[in-house]
């Protein structure tokens, strides 16, 4: 990513340099260093495929990452160039890009459920040497450290017990401390003084990405220096403008009319900034401000489109650069997860997907800025993780629900759906916040089975306990549902998600009676889900809809059908 530098000249090692100037604004220096003897073909900026479904696009993206992976498990080599790559030095810059891109690919493959390439990539990361700062002006290694911390933390959070994960995360966390700017937060250039502690101010998007990684590391049980978080959060809050968007970086406080700092130049990076502040419970961000920033994201999206695939950084309208594109969409999709469930959230997810799906290449990749051969791996990883968050979900638990019970049918008719149900339960809890708690109750044969006697806080231990518990779900027998409802209602949750494939209960009257007795004040929101394999089974079970709608309608909840084939990849 390219720094908007306010000086009018720069001397440094480069094969070519271009000066882009505009009246009354600081100059933007774009410098390219050619590092390879291999000349790559300049690719077309037009979409090369017709838009497909989200699952199909994700499948194609996974296959690209599998095919493009190097024998050592990494992605990208730095051995091809178009002569317009960003200012860099060898080997440190290329090491940073390779390890950072590889960390993103491992994150994406884990989220998508791919194992072979993921495991090979993870092993590469666990053995990868520490990335070094290779020049006084260059701090590309900060991106590598940020995504290494995030990738390792996510592995831990999802049950990987390899002790090396925490060791690698802590080592990269130490580097994040060392390379934080003198005022806190992170940048990736130090054009001013080339000091050990970077002398230039942080960028808002680099700081946001760092704070997201630190949040996940804390969730994974890794000790985070409080000062590191406090300083970074403070700097990010200072970069928020009264109009709701964020300055490019702290050094641009006195250049608010720089095109990149105007709303049309800043709405993209505002998404990761808002998301980071939301995670760390900043008073500068709330649901209203998040919604306003997403509205702006969709309203002025064409200015992000204009920058996508431009060969030089910041040459487009409002100084947007191509490499913002999938980065911004990824964090926008994560921001959606912080919103309450509802039609607006669903519509936003569809809009985000509509800005990603059409740009998939013939080889299954996505890319936004041609950068050696790292652009397709990192672009594809961001796109996959974005689309995964735009897919239909079985359980849509908003942050307002502090205590939730998942009440699921474990009867024999659910046998073929159990693997998908397990994935969805794990996925839902993984996306919940640390101030939320949950329980899982199975309407099993003879008597209900519960994950715990009460609620479990969302943390690493509870996620592992959930994974072990639902691994044993088999789908057998004909359960009675009334005892399961009684168990769930007596816990007094904020909401219950009741999932079954057909409402042909042997004890319907007892269910209705239990709900009326134990939820007489209607304080428990009861959502109902008919979970079927496909449209054929939906038609077959259509007579179940009235009862499920009735249960939800009388208890402040919502009803929906979920077809399993729309979730599977």
Q: List pLDDT tens digits, range 347-367.
A: 888 899 999 999 999 999 999
Could you give phi then psi for residue 540, rounded to 5 degrees? -65, -35
Pairing verdict, β 525-532 and 559-563: parallel
- DSSP three-state, residue 73: coil
* CATH architecture classification, 16-388: Alpha/alpha barrel (1.50)
**What is the reported pLDDT for 51?**
59
Q: Confidence class of residue 11 from pLDDT cuts 50, 70 and 90? A: very low
Q: What pLDDT was estimated at residue 90?
A: 83
The length of the chain in residues reads 569
Instruction: Report CA dihedral (387, 390, 396, 401) to the nearest 10 degrees.
Output: 90
- For residue 137, what are its two tokens? 């002006």
CB 321 within 8 A of CB 2: yes
* 3-class DSSP assignment, residue 506: coil
For 73, phi and psi rounded to 5 degrees?
100, -5
The CA distance from 230 to 226, in Å, is: 6
Structure tokens at 367: 């890319």
Cis peptide before 456 (omega within 30 of 0): no
Report pLDDT for 419: 84
The DSSP-derived string for 248-307 is: SBGGGTT-TTSGGGSHHHHHHHHHHHHHHHHHTT-TT--HHHHHHHHHHHHHTTHHHHHH
Q: What is the pLDDT of residues 100-134, one digit of tens each?
A: 999 999 999 998 888 999 999 999 999 998 898 88
Tokens of 447: 């008597």
Q: In the prediction, which pLDDT does 50 show?
A: 57
Rounded to the nearest 10 degrees, what angle do helices 460-471 and 141-157 cross at? 50
From residue 281, alpha-carbon distances to 147, 259, 275, 276, 460 in Å are: 22, 30, 10, 9, 20
User: Is 215 or 423 the better-scoring residue by pLDDT?
Assistant: 215
pLDDT at 19 (0 to 100): 23
| Amino acid 20: pLDDT | 27
Question: Domain coordinates of the chain in residue numbers?
Answer: 16-388, 403-566
- In this prediction the pTM is 0.77
DSSP letter (8 states) at residue 45:
S
- Strands 495-500 vs 559-563: parallel, antiparallel or unpaired: unpaired
Encode burial over 137-162: b for 16+ CB neighbours within 10 A, e otherwise.
Answer: bbbbbbbbbbbbbbbbbbbbbbeeee
Q: In this structure, which topology does domain 403-566 adopt according to CATH?
A: Rossmann fold (3.40.50)
* DSSP code per residue over 195-240: -SS--SPPBHHHHHHHHHHHHHHHHTT----HHHHHHHHHHHHHTB
pLDDT tops 80 at residue 94? yes
**What angle is formed at CA 372 by the lines to CA 143 and CA 171, rounded to 5 degrees?**
25
| Secondary element (H or E) of residue 30 | strand 28-32
Give percent of the chain with pLDDT exceeding 70. Answer: 88
Q: Which helix (H) or strand (E) holds 173?
A: helix 163-178
Q: Quick one: tokens of 76?
A: 């990208």
Spatial CB neighbours of 167, under 8 Å, sequence gap ≥ 6:
none
Query: If you ran DSSP here, which 8-state letter would residue 417 be given?
Result: G
What radius of gyration do the chain's Cα atoms show?
A: 25
Ranked by mean pLDDT, the top range of 9-13, 545-549, 564-568 is 545-549
Encoded tokens for 89: 């030095």
pLDDT at 40 over 90: no
Tell me the average pLDDT of the chain.
85
């Amino acid at each position: 990513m390219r720094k908007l530098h306010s000086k009018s000249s720069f001397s440094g090692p480069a094969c070519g340099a271009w000066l882009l100037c505009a009246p009354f604004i600081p100059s933007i220096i774009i410098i390219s260093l050619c590092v390879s003897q291999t000349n790559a073909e300049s690719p077309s900026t037009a979409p090369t495929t017709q838009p497909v479904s989200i699952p199909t696009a994700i499948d194609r993206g996974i296959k690209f990452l599998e095919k493009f992976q190097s024998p050592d498990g990494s992605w990208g080599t730095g051995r091809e160039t178009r002569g317009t790559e960003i200012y860099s030095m060898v080997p440190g810059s290329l090491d940073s890009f390779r390890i950072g891109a590889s960390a993103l690919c491992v994150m994406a493959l884990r989220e998508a459920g791919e194992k072979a390439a993921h495991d090979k990539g993870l092993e590469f990361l666990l053995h990868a040497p520490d990335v070094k700062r290779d020049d006084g002006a260059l701090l590309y290694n900060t991106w590598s450290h940020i995504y290494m911390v995030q990738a390792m933390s996510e592995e831990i959070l999802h049950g990987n017990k390899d002790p090396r994960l925490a060791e690698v995360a802590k080592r990269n966390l130490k580097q994040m401390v060392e390379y934080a700017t003198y005022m806190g937060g992170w940048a990736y250039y130090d054009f001013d003084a080339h000091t050990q502690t970077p002398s230039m101010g942080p960028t808002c998007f680099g700081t946001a990405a760092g704070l997201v990684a630190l949040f996940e590391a804390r969730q994974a049980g890794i000790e985070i220096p409080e000062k590191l978080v406090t300083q970074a959060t403070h700097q990010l809050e200072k970069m928020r403008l009264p109009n709701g968007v964020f300055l490019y970086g702290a050094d641009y406080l006195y250049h608010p009319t720089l095109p990149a700092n105007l709303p049309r130049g800043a709405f993209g990076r505002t998404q990761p900034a808002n998301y980071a502040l939301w995670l760390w419970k900043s008073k500068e961000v709330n649901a209203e401000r998040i919604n306003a920033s997403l509205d702006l994201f969709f309203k002025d999206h064409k200015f992000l489109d204009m920058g996508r695939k431009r060969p030089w950084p910041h040459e487009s309208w409002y100084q947007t650069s191509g490499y913002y594109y999938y980065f911004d969409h990824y964090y926008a999709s994560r921001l959606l997860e912080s919103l309450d469930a509802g039609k607006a959230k669903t519509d936003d997810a569809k809009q985000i997907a509509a800005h990603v799906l059409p740009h998939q290449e013939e080889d299954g990749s996505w890319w936004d800025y041609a950068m050696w051969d790292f652009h397709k791996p990192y672009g594809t990883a961001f796109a996959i993780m974005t689309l995964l968050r735009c897919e239909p979900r079985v359980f849509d638990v908003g942050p307002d629900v502090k205590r939730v019970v998942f009440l699921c049918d474990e009867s024999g008719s659910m046998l073929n759906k159990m693997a998908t149900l397990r994935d969805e339960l794990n996925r839902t809890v993984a996306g919940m916040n640390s101030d939320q708690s949950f329980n899982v109750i199975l309407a099993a044969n003879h008597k209900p089975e519960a994950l715990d006697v009460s609620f479990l806080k969302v943390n690493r231990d509870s996620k592992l306990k959930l994974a072990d518990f639902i691994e044993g779900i088999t789908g057998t027998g004909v359960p009675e549902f009334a005892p399961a409802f009684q168990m769930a209602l007596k816990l007094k949750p904020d909401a219950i998600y009741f999932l079954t494939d057909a409402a042909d209960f042997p004890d319907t009257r007892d269910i209705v009676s239990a709900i009326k007795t134990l939820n007489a004040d209607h304080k428990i929101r009861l959502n109902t889900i008919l979970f079927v394999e496909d449209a054929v089974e939906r038609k077959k079970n259509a007579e179940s809809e009235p009862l499920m709608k009735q249960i939800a309608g009388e208890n402040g909840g919502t009803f929906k059908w979920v077809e399993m084939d729309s979730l599977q990849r």
